[in-house]
A and B are shown apart, each in its own frame.
Chain A
Amino acid sequence: MAKLLMKGNEAIAEAAIRAGCRYFFGYPITPQNQIPEYMSKRMPQVGGTFLQAESEVAAINMVYGAAGAGARVMTSSSGPGISLKQEGITYIVGAELPCVIVNIMRGGPGLGSIQPSQSDYFQATRGGGHGDYNMPVLAPASVAEAAELTAKAFDLADKYRTPVLVLGDGMIGQMMEPVDMPEAFPQTVPEKPWATVGWSDKSARPRAVVNSLYIDPKVLEQHNIRLQEKYVKIAAEQVQVATELTDDAEIVLVAYGTMSRIARSAVRAARAEGIKVGLIRPITLWPFPSDTIRQAAKTAERFLVIEMSAGQMIEDVKLALNGARPVGFYGRMGGMVPSVDEVLSEIRKTARKGE
C-alpha cells in the first residue's frame, strides 16, 4: 500500500475511482474544484466517464440517470451547488437509487464565502429536499478518513439503495496529508435487477421502471413506510463514532470534521490543566451517535458542542440527552475557524460552571 501525499479533494476523487466509481458528473464551485479536475484527468485513464454538466441541477439528474442504469456514480459540490442539487437528491431518494454526493462546505447563506464552514449540517442531516427522508452522512476529519469514507459511501449506497453524503469542509478539501491508498477498496456490489439496461419479454426480470411517482396516496404511504423502515435499519446498523478520554470525563465536547481536531487539541491542553474533559466525534452525522452521547452522560455533568456554525449539531446532542444534562455551545460562522485557545477558554468556562 503506497503512502501518498494528497489534498483532501484529490483523495476523495482517487478513493472513489478505487471503489469502482466510473461515472462523475459535476460543475465547478470552490472549494471542491480539485474533485472534478482530478476526475477529468483520471476517469479517461480507467475507462470511466467525466462530464462537466451545464449546471448542478443537470449534474445530479445525470447521476440519477446513471445510477438508474446500474452504475457506481458520484457528484460533488459545495453549499450553493448542493442547494441546487436538492431537487435531484429527493428524486434519487424516492426512486431508491444508490449514489455518492460530496459536499465540501463553505460559509453561507447565499453566495457566502469560500472559506471552510459547517453550516450545511441541517441541510445534510434533515434530508435537504422535499419529502420525508434521511440519508447517511459521513463526516471525515482527515484526508485519509475522507478517502476511506468516500469508498465506504459507495458500499452503503448500494447496500441500502440510497444516496450517501460525504460532508467535508473547505479545510478537509484543501489541506494535504499522507494517505494510505489501497490499489482497490473492497467493494460489495449487489445485483441490480431494477436497473434500466434494456429489457425484453423474454427477460427473467420484470420491466425496470425507475420512478418516484406514486399517484395513489395509499401506495405512496406504503412506499414511505418502507423508506422509514430502511432508515430505522440504517440507524441500527451504521452509526460510526470516535471517543477520546470520555471514560472519566466530567465535561464532554462534541465536534465533527475539522472542528473535532481543534477540539481534540483543546481537550489535551485542558487535561494538562487537570480538567477532566473528553471528546465525542460523530463520524456518521446521520445516523447520529445518540447512544454514545447518552452513555457519556453517565459520568459527564456537562456537554459542550463546538461547530463552525451558529449551532446546528447541538440540536442532535440535546435530542439525545433529552434535557438530562446542560449543553453549552461555542461556534464561529462565515468561514471563521475557532482556534484551540478559544475552545480551551470555553472548556475552562464550562469547568467553572461545574464548581
Chain B
Amino acid sequence: MAVVFEKTKALTDATLSYCPGCTHGIIHRLVAESIDELGVMEKSIGVAPVGCAVFAYDFFNIDMQQAAHGRAPAVATGIKRVHPNNVVFTYQGDGDLASIGMAEIVHAAARGEKITTIFVNNAIYGMTGGQMAPTTLVGQVTTTSPYGRNPELCGMPVRMAEMLGGLAGAAYVARVSVHNVRAVNEAKRAIKKAFELQIAGKGFTMVEVLSTCPTNWGMNPVEALGWVESNMIPYYPLGVFKDVSKDAVLASKDVSAKEAN
C-alpha cells in the first residue's frame, strides 16, 4: 500500500492540550514540518512559553526548555550562545511576547540573535481565561475589558511584526494567518524561510501567526476563523516586514545599477 501521508517526526504522539477549534495545533504542525523538511530535527532546541503553549515541550519531539513568562527570547539567547550551530526557536503567545516579555523580544531582535520566534497572536490571554492582551482589538470584550477595549484607557493594540521589522538586527519578520488553506500554505512558507535564514546565520527571525481562541472569544471554530479574516487581518495586515534575503538582492541590483551608470 502506498504511503500518501505521514505524521511529521518532529511532533510526539502526545494528545494536544488545546481547545477544539484552536489553531495552535496547525501552527505546531507547520513548525514541526519545517524542522523535519530542513533535516534539522536532531539539532533543534525549542523554548516553550507561559500560556496555552506551555506544554509545547510535550508536543515537539526535540530537546526543549520551558521559560518564565515572557523570557523565552532570553532563554533562547543563552542556549544559542552555548550551541551556535543548533537551531533554536521560541514559541510564544501575545501576552507572553507583547506584554510581559516585550523587553526580551525587542532586545533579542536588536542584538540580531540568531533564533526564530513563532509568535502566536490570538488577541487575548487564553490560558488564564480570556483577559485583555496588548493585542486585543479596540472594542473587543474580554474578562478584563468587559465594556470592550477602550483606547482612551488602554491605548491601541500593539503591532509587533511592524515594530520588530524596523530593527536592524531582524533578518526576517513576517505576519501570516492560518484561517484558510491558502493562508496555512503561506504560513508554512514563512516559517520554513525563517528557519532557513536562522540556519544561514542571517540574524533574528520572527513569524507572527494570527490565531483563533474560540473558547475565550465565545465563538464556534468556524466563526472564529471568520473573525480572524474580518476583524484581525484589517488591523494586523499580513505580509513580510523585513527580509534581508530580498534586501540583499535589492542591494546588489543597486550596485549593478550604479555600475551601469
Chain A interface (Cβ < 8 Å from any Cβ of B)? 23, 25, 49, 51, 53-55, 57-59, 61-71, 73, 87-88, 91, 95, 196-201, 207-213
Contact = CB atoms under 8 A, between A and B. Distances in A.
Given A57-B71, A64-B75, A197 B81 contact: no
B45 A61 contact: no
Contacts of B103: 54-55, 57-58
A212 B54 CA distance: 11
A189 to B, nearest CB: 14
B107 interface: yes
Contacts of B81: 23, 49, 51, 62, 66
Contacts of A212: 66
B12 to A, nearest CB: 8
A286 B79 CA distance: 30
Contact of A198 (B63, B68, B74): B63
Interface-centre pick from A23, A63, A68, A95 (highest chain B CB count, 10 A): A68
Given A54-B103, A62-B75, 19 more contacts: A23-B82, A53-B74, A54-B104, A54-B107, A55-B103, A57-B104, A58-B71, A61-B71, A64-B75, A65-B78, A65-B79, A69-B79, A91-B68, A207-B61, A207-B64, A209-B63, A210-B64, A210-B65, A213-B54
Interface string B6-46: 00010000000000000000000000000000000111110
B241 interface: no
28 contacts: A54-B107, A58-B103, A58-B107, A59-B74, A61-B104, A62-B77, A62-B81, A64-B67, A64-B75, A65-B76, A66-B79, A68-B79, A69-B78, A69-B79, A69-B82, A73-B78, A87-B71, A88-B68, A197-B83, A197-B86, A198-B43, A198-B62, A199-B62, A200-B41, A201-B9, A207-B62, A209-B57, A210-B65
A100 to B, nearest CB: 14
Contacts of B74: 53, 57-59, 61-62, 64-65
Contact of A208 (B63, B75, B78, B83): B63
Contacts of A49: 81-82
Contacts of B48: 211
Interface in B152-179: none
A88 to B, nearest CB: 6
A196 B68 contact: no
B66 A209 contact: yes
A71 B84 CA distance: 13
Contacts of A88: 68, 71
B42 A200 contact: yes
Interface string B72-113: 001111111111001000000000000000011011000000
B190 interface: no
B47 interface: yes
B82 A66 contact: yes
Given A54-B103, A198-B42, A213-B66, A64 B86 contact: no
A17 to B, nearest CB: 16
B77 A51 contact: yes
Given A55-B103, A196-B65, A64 B45 contact: no
Contacts, number: 129
Nearest to A212: B66
B104 A58 contact: yes
Q: Which of B41, B79, B106 has the most CB of A within 10 A?
A: B79
Contacts of A210: 64-66
A199 B66 contact: no
A61 B68 contact: yes
A327 to B, nearest CB: 39
B63 A199 contact: yes
Contact of A65 (B47, B57, B61, B107): B47
Nearest to B106: A54
A62 B67 CA distance: 10
A113 B252 CA distance: 55
> By CB atoms of chain B within 10 A, which of A23, A25, A58, A70 has the most?
A58
Contacts of B44: 198
B86 A198 contact: yes
B222 to A, nearest CB: 31
A87 B48 CA distance: 17
A53 B104 CA distance: 9
Contacts of A23: 78, 81-82
Contacts of A70: 82
B190 to A, nearest CB: 24
A25 B77 CA distance: 10
Contacts of A65: 47, 65, 67, 74-80, 82
Interface in B187-230: none
Looking at B61, B66, B80, B103, which has the most chain A CB atoms within 10 Å of its CB?
B66
A306 to B, nearest CB: 38
B68 A87 contact: yes
A155 to B, nearest CB: 19
A62 B90 CA distance: 13
Most A Cβ at <10 Å: residue of B9, B43, B81, B82: B82
Contacts of A54: 103-104, 106-107
Closest 10 CB pairs of A and B: A65-B78, A61-B74, A66-B78, A196-B63, A65-B75, A54-B107, A61-B71, A62-B78, A210-B65, A69-B82
Nearest to B69: A87
Contacts of B41: 200
B64 A196 contact: yes
B104 to A, nearest CB: 5
A172 to B, nearest CB: 27
